Structure 1
Amino acid sequence: MQNLIPGDMLEVNQKLKWELDSGVKADESSVIHDALLAGTQYFVDEALEGSYWTVKWDASQQNVDIYGTDDTVVGAIKPTGASLEADFRQDAQGLFIRIEKEVAVVVRNN
């Protein structure tokens, strides 16, 4: 359960329960934010066939920035709605499909 990347709100709640039962301080938002980072990192690693780039939340916690090997931002995943968290809550699977496609474009262009 620790390594599960939640793909919908049911899995978010399952992971949240597991984290709380394990003594981890968490809430739905933190689980969603972690899932978005982990999911984006997974797609970046798959596209590059290795862990060469990293992903991090931007300073405002609104976008997930993609950093290249020289630690500069080479791309960003931005929300289509109010926030990436809101996009996840509305359609998590659709959001992950969009993230995968956007990562492929960033990788292709860099």
Structure 2
Amino acid sequence: MQNLIPGDMLEVNQKLKWELDNGQTADEESVINDAVLAGVQYYTDEALEGHYWTVKWNTNHDAIDLYGMAGKVVGAIKPISANLADDFRKDSQGLFIRIEKEVAVIVRNN
């Protein structure tokens, strides 16, 4: 459960319960944000066939930046609504499909 990347709200609630039961500080928003960040890293690693780039929340925590081998931002995953957590709540599968496609474009262009 610890390494689970929640793919929908049911899994978010399961992971949240697990984290709280294991003494961690978490809420729904943090579990979703961690899931989205982990999803972007997963699709980046898949596109590059290895862990060569790093993904991090930007300074304003409103998009996820992708950092290339030189440590410079090469692209970003931005929300289509207020924030990525809301995008997840509205359509988690659609969000991950969009992330996968956007990461592929960023990788191809860099």
**Hey, what does 1:38 align to over in structure 2?**
38
**Hey, what does 1:68 align to over in structure 2?**
68
- CA RMSD across the alignment: 0.4
TM score, norm. by length of structure 2: 0.99
State whether structure 2 residue 60 is matched by structure 1 residue 80.
no
**Hey, what does 1:4 align to over in structure 2?**
4
Give the partner amino acid of 1:107: V
Secondary structure at 2:74 match in 1: strand
In 2: Cα distance, 1:109 partner to 1:101 partner: 13
In 2: Cα distance, 1:42 partner to 1:61 partner: 19
TM score, norm. by length of structure 1: 0.99
Q: How many residues align?
A: 110
Deviations 1:6-29 (A, max 9, x none): 000000000000000000000000
Identity %, equivalent residues? 73
Give the partner amino acid of 1:3: N
In 2: Cα distance, 1:38 partner to 1:82 partner: 20
What displacement does 1:86 show? Answer: 0.5
What displacement does 1:76 show? Answer: 0.2
Give the partner amino acid of 1:61: H
Give the gaps of 5 or more residues in structure 1: none
**Hey, what does 2:50 align to over in structure 1?**
50
What displacement does 1:41 show? Answer: 0.2
Point out 4+ residue stretches in structure 1 off by more than 2 angstroms.
none
